[in-house]
Amino acid sequence: MSRPFRLAGLLRLRTLAEDQAAVELARAVRQRDAAEDRRHETETVLGSASLPARSDELHWRAAVASRAALSGLLVEHSHAVVAAQAVVVDSEGLWSQARTATRTLEKLEERHDTEVRAEEARAEQAVLDEVAGRMRTGVPTQQDGSDR
């Protein structure tokens, strides 16, 4: 019977923490992308908004106010993109730390599994050597589990 990996419970917890960090990172990326889309849409609308060629003063003032409002909205959306990118960077750092902690334990588990396999192979080889030694000396071996 092979011995269990003693840190298996901790590895499961670290894996869950890594998964949660990955979810948070994905959420932050989606929010950043949405903020970037809003900024891009506002920029497109502002770029396509033009002042009327011929109109009265009221229309001209409305167009100027509209462009000023769009410019303010573009600045606001640009700040939102910067803030969302900062959240993405923080989330990437947290995920990276969680991944490093998980990977460290995974390497320990791999080393443990290798050692257990080697121990089992040595034990099996010892049994095979004993059987071969008995067969050479003519000592009967017990193959079917019954006494002769």
Question: pLDDT tens digits for 119-130?
Answer: 999 999 999 988
The answer on pLDDT for 139 being more than 80 is no
Using CA atoms, how far apart are residues 66 and 95, in angstroms rounded to an integer? 43
> Which pLDDT band holds residue 143 (cuts at 50, 70, 90)?
low
Residues of the chain above pLDDT 70, percent: 92
Which domains are delineated in the chain?
8-137 (1.10.287.1700)
Model confidence pLDDT, tens digit, residues 63-121: 889 999 999 999 999 999 999 999 999 999 999 999 999 999 999 999 999 999 999 99
Query: DSSP characters for 22-53?
Result: HHHHHHHHHHHHHHHHHHHHHHHHHHH----S
